[in-house]
């Protein structure tokens, strides 16, 4: 917060202190974006398509099992999973869902959140769950490898200055959790993968776009929700991603080798369905959970009540 605004807030009575911008209106819908499909060009790869749509490599593999990620083939139909059910979390600040490897930035005016693909912590170096805040913002950050990193790789220097060799990229957002950041990268092919030491990596253009949307003090919520459910108009959608431990299976094999519908996932589906639980399509639900393609699939619809005015039907 600029010093002038800070001094003004201190001088005002508590009841008159304005709420911070990120604590105002809330986005009211359960989803954002629209599904896309395209015909692959000869030169297309999943890495390139993912970056063009701000998606990740693993989710492109999950959405298109059986398709060669490096040579899809000219004319092959490619599903681009660009519609997202929002995580079950407050619609404010930044919300990160680790299994889908996505960050949602909620504007303070209640308009649609902006989704960004991310890279997350690899096995044994998981990104923490919970709520924190943005505590600092830096353009051109220095990277200081941790003691663990330097023990694993003694060739690492104590400090890597800003520049093309810096793994933090050009911009960094520091979290209230020590040693954890949301930052860019000099290796964009790692976005949509479990490759970091616990930090949240973003495409270079992604962190540049997000940086200006973020204020110090903004809340950050990190959740682990591979299964999400929400309404779009009169249709209830289910979106199932590989769990974090399944992401490596999908990266290698193109689909998970294990699956289950957890108790919390079941409760989330039933809670979202509400009065329309009897309309749930359980065979489709089991199929979505088993395949975990990472894009929303209809699992229930509200009954349509049609009332025709007298004389409005077909002529006798």
Active site residues: 183, 199
User: Which residue is it, tokens 């000219």?
Assistant: 74
Asked if 121 contacts 99 with a C-beta cutoff of 8 angstroms, the reply is no
- CB 143 within 8 Å of CB 201: no
d(CA 28, CA 30): 7
CA nearest to 188, candidates 54, 282, 278 = 54
Residue 127 to residue 187: CA distance in whole angstroms: 19
Q: From CA 299, how far away is CA 240, in angstroms rounded?
A: 12
**Distance of alpha carbon 101 from alpha carbon 94, whole angstroms:** 13
Contact 99, 225 (CB under 8 A): yes
The token pair that represents 293 in the structure block: 């393609």
Q: What is the C-alpha separation between 222 and 127, in angstroms, rounded? A: 9
Cα 129-134-137 angle, rounded to 5 deg:
135
CA angle, residues 108, 109, 115, in degrees to nearest 5? 65
Q: How many Å is the maximal CA-CA distance in the chain? A: 88
**Spatial contact of 20 and 93, defined as CB atoms under 8 Å apart:** no
Q: Which two tokens stand for residue 45?
A: 């790869």
**According to DSSP H, which parts of 130-262 are helical?**
147-152, 204-211, 247-253
């Amino acid at each position: 917060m600029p010093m002038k605004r800070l001094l003004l807030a201190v001088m005002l009575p508590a009841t008159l202190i304005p709420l911070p911008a990120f604590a105002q209106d809330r986005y009211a819908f359960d989803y954002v974006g629209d599904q896309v499909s395209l015909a692959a060009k000869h030169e297309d790869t999943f890495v390139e398509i993912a970056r063009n749509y701000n998606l990740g490599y693993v989710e492109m593999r999950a959405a298109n099992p059986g398709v060669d990620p490096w040579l899809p083939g000219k004319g092959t139909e490619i599903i681009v999973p660009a519609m997202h059910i929002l995580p079950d979390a407050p619609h404010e600040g930044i919300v990160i869902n680790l299994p889908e490897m996505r960050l949602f930035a909620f504007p303070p005016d209640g308009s649609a959140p902006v989704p960004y693909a991310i890279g997350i912590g690899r096995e044994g170096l998981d990104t923490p769950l919970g709520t924190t805040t943005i505590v600092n913002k830096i353009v051109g950050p220095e990277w200081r490898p941790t003691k663990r990193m330097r023990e694993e790789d003694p060739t690492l220097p104590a400090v890597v200055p800003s520049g093309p060799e810096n793994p933090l990229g050009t911009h960094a957002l520091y979290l209230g959790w020590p040693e954890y950041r949301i930052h860019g990268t000099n290796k964009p092919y790692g976005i949509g993968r479990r490759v970091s030491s616990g930090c949240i990596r973003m495409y270079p253009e992604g962190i540049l776009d997000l940086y200006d949307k973020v204020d110090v003090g903004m809340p950050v919520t990190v959740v682990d929700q591979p299964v999400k459910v929400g309404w779009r108009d009169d249709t209830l959608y289910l979106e199932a991603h590989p769990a974090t431990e399944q992401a490596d299976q999908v990266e290698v094999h193109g689909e998970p080798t294990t699956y289950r519908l957890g108790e919390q996932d079941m409760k989330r589906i039933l809670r979202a369905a509400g009065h329309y639980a009897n309309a749930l399509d359980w065979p489709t639900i089991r199929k979505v959970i088993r395949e975990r393609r990472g894009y929303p699939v209809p699992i229930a619809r509200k009954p349509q009540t049609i009332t025709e005015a007298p004389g409005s039907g077909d002529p006798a």
